[in-house]
Amino acid sequence: ETETKYVFVAASVLIIGLTVVGYLFIRNQKQTKRLKEQKEELGQLNQVKDRFFSIISHDLRNNLTTMKLYFDLISNPDYKPDEDAKEFSKQISSSVENTIDLLENLLVWAQAQIKGIDVKPQTLDVHALVVDNIALLGGSAHQKGIELINETSSFTIWADEDMMNLVIRNLISNAIKFTQHGGKVTVRAYQVEGKINI
């Protein structure tokens, strides 16, 4: 009877020990998995940040180049204002507004990095988004004699407005960059399996 009692106690201790070891092992595995997920998430956020700053710096450089060309032109002693100059002045005004918007986006992004990215999806009109971004990049297109054409329909999407503007502006900006002088850049949108491709 005493031996049975010892065997029972030993078995109980063994079971408790195995349970504790199993619990610690599972907890350690969960912590390792959580740390790995956090590392991957931080890596993705870092890539997004780098991409964002790359786009912002690219757009700012384009706008500042446009403004520099204008100031170089009007500071030339032989410069004589004409009808084209008025149109160019409008482009510069738009470029300045665009630069202000970009800086505001940059500040919002910096704030988001401190407080966490705050995505605010809402119903947006694709055509209106493209109209706004074509207006903002008109100065860059004008420098290369490129015509910007908006052939999007009024599709509605559910998305964050700042993020969508960033994406569309980057698409158009790259198209301008890789289009030859005197060419055309056309923006189209179409629906495929419930999604809108731009």
What mean pLDDT, rounded, does the chain reach? Answer: 79
Question: H or E segment at 195?
Answer: strand 195-197
pTM reported for the whole predicted model: 0.50
Percent of the chain with pLDDT over 90: 17
Q: Which residues contact 187 (CB under 8 A, 6 or more apart)?
A: 130, 134, 148, 149, 150, 151, 152, 168, 171, 172, 198
At 70, which amino acid appears? Answer: Y
Nearest to 155 by CA among 128, 193, 122, 121: 128
Max mean pLDDT among 42-46, 62-66, 123-127, 159-163 falls in 123-127
Give the model confidence (pLDDT) of 122-154 as tens digits. 999 999 999 999 988 887 788 789 999 999 988
d(CA 45, CA 57): 18
Residue 38: what pLDDT?
79
Percent of the chain with pLDDT over 70: 76
pLDDT above 80 for 180: yes
Judge contact between 122 and 82, C-beta under 8 A: no
Residue 184: what pLDDT?
95
